[in-house]
Amino acid sequence: MNNNSIFLPEIAEVISTRQLTEMEKYIELKIKETREFKFNPGQFIQLSIFGIGEAPISISSSPFDKDTIGLCVRKAGDVTSAIHKLETGSYIGIRGPLGNGFPVKEMKGKDLLIIAGGLGLAPLRSLINYVLERRDNFAKITILYGAKNPGEMLFTDELELWKARKDVVIDITVDKPDDNWSGKSGVITRLIPSLDIEPTNTYALVVGPPVMYKYVLLELQSKQISEEHIIMSLERRMKCGIGKCGHCQINGVYVCLDGPEFSYHTLKFLSEAI
């Protein structure tokens, strides 16, 4: 950040908006003061609407897009509802980047199993774009994505582009298909048993609703993936983003400072987390 205090937001301009679903909107920001915005996949920012409040939002764009910041925002409260009303040319406050991202250096040379449930694709999109940009640094890449229904699927145009690649395996399912859906149906865990996984060489990156984690963990453990190599996000627990409010504290661990990404080996000792 350019200012001298983590409490002071920088001003960013909304340069584009795109409605993804009825509840999710994608916005692109550019910091008013010309500078590169550097971050790691999995980090987040605090987004503030003046006079209303602020909310933590995961960064969805690629770390290689130095000039803009892309965010997928679900309308879920006063702040996010106000964000949905922003138009191109509006100004907003940001603090960040904050938190720790995915362990991309440790994952170099490994197989990656990326599992996204619903809105979990938003932060994982940043990681996916990162590894595809650095494709030679990673071995096999498998992407699993599940949504409640076809109307809630995010980034459908990019899903099709990823499907078309020869160097990526992608599988998609919806819990409740409609009459126009021709793909797979059922919960995302159904996609895991048939996967050919080399457990000693695989990192599993999992982001989705809390109810998904328990059952995905069971499937990953049945594949004998190391607890240290199962990485999960607790981004939903965050509030202030800097460890001051205590909202995200779990047994002395602050999600916003120490996470939001954690290995399962760490999380299993934080009984409230999963």
Check whether 240 is labelled as a binding-site residue: yes
Question: Mean pLDDT across the stretch 182-206?
Answer: 96
Where is average pLDDT lowest: 23-27, 89-93, 213-217, 265-269? 265-269
DSSP state of 128: H
Contact criterion met (CB below 8 Å) for 261 and 231: yes
Where is average pLDDT lowest: 90-99, 216-225, 252-261? 252-261
- pLDDT at 117 > cutoff 80: yes
pLDDT band at 232 (very low <50, low <70, confident <90, very high): very high
pLDDT band at 1 (very low <50, low <70, confident <90, very high): very low
- pLDDT at 73 > cutoff 50: yes
pLDDT band at 5 (very low <50, low <70, confident <90, very high): low
pLDDT value, residue 248: 82
For residue 100, what are the contacts with CB-CB under 8 A and spacing of at least 6? Answer: 40, 42, 43, 258, 259, 260, 261
DSSP state of 156: H
Express as a percent the part of the chain with pLDDT over 90: 78
Question: Mean pLDDT across the stretch 59-79?
Answer: 93
Same fold, 10-98 and 111-267: no
Q: Please report, as a single letter, which amino acid is at residue 72.
A: C
- pLDDT at 3 > cutoff 60: no
| Statement: 10-98 belongs to CATH 2.40.30.10 | yes
* pLDDT digits 0-9 by tens, 119-139: 999 999 999 999 999 999 999
pLDDT value, residue 274: 58
Q: How far apart are CA 146 and CA 144, in angstroms?
A: 7
- pLDDT at 91 > cutoff 90: yes
Tell me the β-bridge partners of 146: 117, 173
Q: How far apart are CA 78 and CA 49, in angstroms?
A: 10
Query: Which ranges constitute the DSSP H helices of 85-231?
Result: 121-133, 156-164, 210-222
What is the number of alpha carbons within 13 Å of residue 267 lying toward its C-beta?
A: 22
Question: Mean pLDDT across the stretch 82-95?
Answer: 95
Question: Mean pLDDT across the stretch 158-166?
Answer: 96
Question: What residue ranges do the domains of the chain occupy?
Answer: 10-98, 111-267
pLDDT value, residue 84: 96
Contact criterion met (CB below 8 Å) for 18 and 81: no
Question: Mean pLDDT across the stretch 84-94?
Answer: 95
Check whether 72 is labelled as a binding-site residue: no
Residue 38 sits at φ, ψ, to 5 deg, of: -100, 135
Express as a percent the part of the chain with pLDDT over 70: 96
Collapse the DSSP code of 261 into the 3-class scheme (helix H, G, I; strand E, B; otherwise coil) and give the result: strand
Write down the CATH number for the domain with range 111-267: 3.40.50.80
